[in-house]
Structure 1
Amino acid sequence: MTYGSRDWSKARRARDRGAKKRWSVRARTTLVASLVVSSALLLGSIIMVELLRSELTANVIETAKNESVNIVSLVQGGELPNPIPIPRGDLAAQVIAPDGKVIAFTQNLEGERPQYQFPQMKGTSQTVVRQSNNAIAQVGDHDHNYILVANRVDVAVPVETQAAKTYEVFQSKKQSKNVIFSGSTAPGNYYVYVWASLQSVDQSVRTLLLILLAGFPLLITVVVVATWLTSKKAFEAVERIRVDVDEISETNLSRRVYEPSQGDEISRLAHTMNQMLERLEISTEERKRFVADASHELKSPLSALRASLEIAIRHPDEVDWVATARTGIAESQRMQHIIEDLLLLAKADAGQLLGTFQSVDIDELAVEECQRLRALTDVRFDLSDMSAGRIQGDSERIRSVVRNLLENAVRHASSQVWVSLKAVDSHVVFQVADDGKGVREQDREKIFDRFTRLDESRSRDRGGSGLGLAIVKSIVIAHGGTISVSDNDRCGHGAQFTAVFEADSCSVLESDALPFPPLNVNNSH
């Protein structure tokens, strides 16, 4: 057992050390930014170098083609100077006669054998190839890369050279001297070769690479420093928010985290966290108040039941045991009612409030509840505005809505309760009104909260537990409806509760086809 604990401690210390060695978010952000910029610069550099090389090579080819056109014109004219004049030192040229002899050349190819064997061209008189030519390499040009423009020229007359020497093609590698040839040549296919050095291209590319290699580390350094400094302020705000959150507990939910003033994502995150803390604070306070109120509500019947039993035990001969039993039953029923309401609200919070949906006739439920309450109160019920209305819902929960609204109205009415049901567009509107003192406008949202304490005119001390309207709201909302309270405009005072549900198809009947007569009587017991 000791060995296992020691191993666990070692593992935890190793994990903590590993956590400390991890890079911070700021460092990882800087690293990622530098890698992204490096990759972009590398790709851009490669594209830039290749574009430069391609453009410069195209210029060299164009220069070689222009020079070859000039030499071809001389060959076609029948008079060819030797050596051939060229405007640039990075160009070289040879003219090969039909018999394979070099009949003209540029000065930098004097004494050289033919440098290229013209391929068999089908349907073309010019080709461009790239080659490495050691014989015409300039001083300092170590790569010897050239562009060759080769032309085939069909000449019908002999070509006279202006110099007295031409050079015979080498027959083998063992032949080390050039054979001098003089005179005119016969008609046929002549070949004009023009070479253009790529040394200038390579030098330009190397220069660009050196500039990029020198600027690349500098630019990466600038990006790293800028990213590190820019992220410093942002992550300082994050760290401050983290410290504030770490210090907040259930006992100090009134505290708020630091909100930066930049208006960026971190500011919005801090603002959202403060809104969440505010909701948590309100929820916690409501939960504490709910627990306190529930304890008080359960304590009252328990205290009353205990007091009646203690009195009965102390004075057994003077106590009416039947009345004591009735008191105990009444208080236990009150506790049972409170517990059932609390369980119902707990199901509503868990999203398990509703059962199976079916067609529910609200008018029938209202009539049944009114008839039940007639036997328990002297309050009159006016159902003259009742129509038939049907919705889809949980019948037992809808009955709870009707019962709670009617019982609440009876509890606060002076003498009369109005019940109405009507169709408005595709909805069923159920209303219960009383002629009591009503609900103040500032309390009309609060009245649906659990254990809400209002003024004495609508205090729950008159028989309510303070949960009925909260249950009504939960059930109505769970059915996709709305519940509200307003003034009773029928008599100028009192409260009117309105519940709106979505109507079932073909649910509302015309008022002249009511299934029950209006109730507007003074109940007697």
Structure 2
Amino acid sequence: MADPAGPGLPAGGLRGWWRRRGIRARLALTSAVVLALTLVGLARLFAFAVGHSMISTLDDSARRSASDVVALIDANRLPDPILTTGGTMTIQVVDATGRIRAASPGADRLVPLLDARGMAAARRDGRARFLDGRGYGMPDVLRVVAVPARDGQTVIAATSFEQVHHGLEIVARTLVVGVPILLALLGAAGWLVIGGALRPITELRRGAEEISGTARSRRLPVPEARDEVHDLAVTLNDMLHRLEQAEARQRALVSDTAHELRSPLASIRAQLEVALDHPDSQPWPETAAGVLADTLRLSRLADDLLVLARLDEHEARTVAREPVDLSALARAVGERHPAARVPVTVDAGEPVIVRGDGKGLTRLLDNLVDNALRHAAAGVRVGVSRSGEWAELSVRDDGPGIPPTDRERVFARFTRLDEGRSRDEGGAGLGLAIVRETARAHGGDAHLEDASPGLRAVVRLPSAKPPPGEA
């Protein structure tokens, strides 16, 4: 598509053209413009300083010569003509009536270099003045000073400005030639330095392209300099590490889920195939009961996976924050197991309030109690207590327990110990994973500890003040 702005005018004007430049070009151009303005300003300042210094030196020389003549007048030793060092100074001694009493060789003896008004102003302020010497038979521009002497006399000293003018021209030509050369050299150096500073970013981009085109674990190159680019590379590598871990967890979850689904699906398929091959001899009620049991197992697995998926979503956002009484929740869970294999005892007195998702916390406690009932020998005890700013929920059984080396591993998803795998009712190994993820989503955590005998599961959650009227 043709550019609507035409070949000579970039789209968006100068601002659009500037935004489309690369970082290196923009930095180089900006530094070049700033450098050019700085060099021009410094050049002008240098030329002004050199000119001022040369003119001051010239004026001081004229004043010294005039002062020497004043000293001769005071000593009544004024010669005529007045000899000057090197013959570069023009001196006139003018009396009060405006007549020239003495002068240096070559100076005008009839017309003073300054008229009456100019002489009076020069005597008053003591400043040097420019004077066109062509009117006095001198081809150069002059610098003139007037120094008062006794009896109303005035000593006028004038020196040629030609040498200073020539020197200033040399300085100006040098600056006109040198400043562009210096600007070009500094601009090229800036371009190279900026390119070197941005080279780590180019390496990061190339490293990212290689990572996107390969399946193996890769990391972005980290520059040696401890600067912002180094921090960016470290942060990106940490992000890649987290993404790899998340991807690995997803792959493991998909693999474990597929493995868990194969067993009930294979059982359902086998039962249905046998029933269809031998419809007359197959006990259909037993087949339906077996298929229903496997279906319920699949349903529980689907529910657990859905819970874990929602908990994973809560890693980036908080769960619902409604007041939940753990004591009342524990008593309600205990009442739901009146005919359990072993009795469930609840030790919950005063209200212990936390803020969170009531359904999620109920599921957490149900998982702990169900897990304890599968392994308990004589009973299960549920306890609720408060410790400072923390609320503690515990479920204890008197079963065989879990070795210390395995107490952390059982919180991983689809993890079941060998003894648990031998039980058909042992579940898919997601119960304790849901417990820990739920606790962490509420700002707490869960762990297992020895109960001697048995095992004690402990969940710690941040406590909250009870609602008014329930304290």
Q: When the two structures are superposed, what TM-score results if normalisation uses the length of structure 1?
A: 0.67
Most deviating of 281-290 and 340-349: 340-349
1:499 to 459, 465, 471: 459
Tell me if the contact between 1:301 and 1:334 (Cα under 8 Å) persists in the aligned partners.
yes
In 2, the alpha carbon distance for the partners of 1:441 and 1:57 equals 95
- The correspondence for 1:254, drawn from 193, 217, 235, is 217
Residues 204 and 233, structure 2, Cα contact 8 Å, conserved in 1: yes
Cα drift, residue 389 of structure 1: 1.0
Q: Give the aligned partner of residue 445 of structure 2.
A: 483
Per-residue CA distance 1:175-202 (angstroms, 9 max, x = gap) = xxxxxxxxxxxxxx54443345554544
Q: Say whether 1:133 aligns with 2:132.
A: yes
Given residue 132 of structure 2, which amino acid in structure 1 is its aligned partner?
N
1:131 and 1:366 map into 2 onto residues whose CA distance is 106
Counterpart amino acid of residue 363 in structure 1: S
Q: Relative to total residues, which structure has the larger helix share, 1 or 2?
A: 2
Match of 1:363 in 2: 327
Q: 1:48 to 1:281 in 2, by over 3 A?
A: same
Question: What does the per-residue CA deviation read over 1:84-105, in whole Å, with 9 as the maximum and x for residues that have no partner?
Answer: 4444655444344443334444
Instruction: Give the drift of 1:216.
Output: 5.4
Q: Distance in 2 between matches of 1:55 and 1:441?
A: 90
With over 3 angstroms needed to count, the CA separation of the structure-2 counterparts of 1:70 and 1:419, relative to structure 1, is: farther
The worse-fitting range, judged by mean Cα deviation, of 46-55 and 287-296 is 46-55
Partner secondary structure for residue 336 of structure 2: helix
1:422–1:508: 8 Å Cα contact kept in structure 2?
no
Match of 2:11 in 1: none
What is the distance in 2 between the residues matched to 1:392 and 1:292?
35
Q: How many Å apart are 1:128 and its aligned residue?
A: 1.5
- The share of aligned pairs that are identical, in percent, is 28
Whether the aligned pair in 2 keeps the contact of 1:151 and 1:193 (CA below 8 Å) is yes
Q: Is the 8 A contact 1:437 1:457 kept in 2?
A: no
1:51 to 40, 45, 49: 49
The offset of 1:68, in angstroms, is: 4.1
What corresponds to 1:401 in structure 2? 364
**1: CA distance, partners of 2:420 / 2:42:** 78
For this pair of structures, how many residues does the alignment match? 452
Give the CA deviation at 1:138: 11
TM-score (norm 2): 0.74
Output the amino acid matched with 1:344: V
Residues 34 and 126 (structure 1 numbering): CA distance in 2 closer, same or farther, change over 3 Å? closer
Instruction: Tell me how far apart the structure 2 counterparts of residues 487 and 137 of structure 1 sit (CA, whole Å).
Output: 115
Cα deviation per residue 1:46-103 (whole Å; 9 max; x = unaligned)? 4433333334434444444444444455566777544444446554443444433344
Measure how far apart 1:368 and its partner are: 1.1
Matched, 1:279 2:242: yes
Structure-2 residue corresponding to 1:179: none
Shift of 1:455: 2.7
Q: How has the CA–CA distance of structure 1 residues 349 and 202 changed in structure 2, closer, same or farther, with 3 Å as cutoff? A: farther
Give me the whole-angstrom Cα distance separating, in 1, the residues matched to 2:124 and 2:207.
83
Is the Cα contact below 8 Å between 1:417 and 1:434 reproduced in 2? yes
Contact residue 380 and residue 416 of structure 1 kept, 8 A = yes
Higher relative contact order (CA 8 A, sep 6+): 1
Match of 2:15 in 1: none
The answer to whether 1:337 aligns with 2:337 is no
Task: Point out the more displaced range, 207-216 or 354-363.
Answer: 207-216
SS, match of residue 324 in structure 2: strand
Matches of 2:467 and 2:399, distance apart in 1? 32
Q: CA RMSD in A?
A: 4.7
* Alignment partner, residue 290 of structure 1: 253
Matches within 5 A, 1:368-447: 368-375=332-339, 377-384=340-347, 388-439=351-402, 445-447=408-410
Select the residue among 465, 469, 482 that pairs with 2:432.
469
Counterparts of 2:120 and 2:409, CA distance in 1: 98
Q: 1:71 to 1:354 in 2, by over 3 A?
A: same
Could you tell me how far apart the structure 2 residues matched to 1:194 and 1:442 are? Answer: 107
Structure 1 gap ranges (5+): 8-21, 158-188, 516-525
